[in-house]
Structure 1
């Protein structure tokens, strides 16, 4: 059996190794990157190749050059977001958990509504909602911001019989967020199922998330269920892969 060979350009391979070290915390935020000569020796390559690798990571905002000082790892490590933090309805009088969880991390959370409409959803959304080929759903599309920077692109779909004529179908923001409204309507979120994938961004995602370079994104496909396993919300959530990690803490039985 022939062994698989990494056919990527050497600069891309070096960038991939450094990227992994940064995301894993091996290269700590704010730390200085080894000199070009050290990286040349480590990878047995030319200075030009090392420069190409570092330029890629600067474009991705993982590294930053400081005049007269060298190249450094960005100051902030990738942030871990726990999906379970946003599932429960907000407490009475409290804002949407996106906002309250951001405040807990000393950040400012906000949302920008892009679109609210009755649409024919993507196939996997229709399947999750149990719709036929002609079925429609209410779409709420928004950008979640942290400190005024795009942090996620969210497309959430709701069953027509549940959402039509409610605030879910209204373009205005929902006080307390959709989990709170669904609970008030008699459909409390009971559990969610997530599928997580990594891929390159689409043109729309690149624009709305203001991505630097060709960074990967995290795609979370989420189905939220109420009582009796009724699907009440299906969400396609996209996050910049160089800024965020998904954190799951699951009990073992």
Structure 2
């Protein structure tokens, strides 16, 4: 059965076409886009429609405008984040892995603590630990740009009386505390979904309109597959991708 035509407004259809060409490599990083007149002719639309399409793609970070010169494909590719880099606790005195990883990319990472409280958690967390848990809410930044929101949950019997429940940033992150408590993280399971952002996510991450977010539900286990931490991680889907490196073991 033939697919129905794209029912979105024309400027969104044009943005989708240019976006697809950028993602496929047809429009390489640094490529100058056709002029407005050429795009009007290519898509048979008005100047206003072209400008709206370009505005969408600039907001998403696919294109950049250079005054008096033209519009170019952004040279910086989507940032690949490797979740495995954050599994093991850092050595004593070392910074939170987010900051170390940022330095490795030539960038500056920082973490802003937004809230610490005992809360009623999302249903996935409540299934494990009941209706009240300890929560830390963080905003992660790269070069002072909001990058990721993190809600980190622990059962009260683990968190109470430890830095996990304290209202200060934790040197080395929560994995360092869990290791010091004798329950180091040894494995995690990620469930990743995509959806449109909530109002809070849209504002705190400074997202363009209509850009989806990647939501990761992470369950962290210590020995004997005991869950000791759950995380909800939200990042803009337009600028970031998740990279997983998994050893391949083959037996004849």
Q: 1:167 matched to which residue of 2?
A: 163
Contact 2:61 2:239 in 1 (8 A): no
**Alignment gaps of 5+ in structure 1:** none
Instruction: Give how far 1:40 is off.
Output: 4.0
Indicate the RMSD between aligned Cα atoms, in angstroms.
1.8
Instruction: Give how far 1:68 is off.
Output: 1.8
Q: 1:139 matched to which residue of 2?
A: 135
Instruction: Give how far 1:25 is off.
Output: 4.6
**Alignment gaps of 5+ in structure 2:** none
Number of residue pairs the alignment of both structures matches? 249
Instruction: Give how far 1:232 is off.
Output: 0.9
Query: What secondary structure, in the 3-state scheme, does the structure 1 residue paired with 2:208 have?
Result: coil
22-31 or 82-91, larger mean C-alpha shift? 22-31
Task: Confirm whether residue 69 of structure 1 aligns to residue 69 of structure 2.
Answer: yes
Contact 2:60 2:239 in 1 (8 A): no
Matches within 5 A, 1:71-90: 71-90=71-90
Q: 2:117 matched to which residue of 1?
A: 117
Q: 1:21 to 1:159 in 2, by over 3 A?
A: farther
Matches within 5 A, 1:141-220: 141-220=137-216
User: In structure 2, how many angstroms separate the alpha carbons of the residues matched to 1:24 and 1:233?
Assistant: 38
Contact 2:212 2:237 in 1 (8 A): yes
Instruction: Give how far 1:233 is off.
Output: 0.9
Contact 2:149 2:234 in 1 (8 A): yes
User: In structure 2, how many angstroms separate the alpha carbons of the residues matched to 1:24 and 1:110?
Assistant: 32
Instruction: Give how far 1:218 is off.
Output: 1.2
User: In structure 2, how many angstroms separate the alpha carbons of the residues matched to 1:169 and 1:177?
Assistant: 12
Contact 1:15 1:57 in 2 (8 A): yes
TM-score under structure 1 normalisation?
Answer: 0.91
TM-score under structure 2 normalisation?
Answer: 0.91
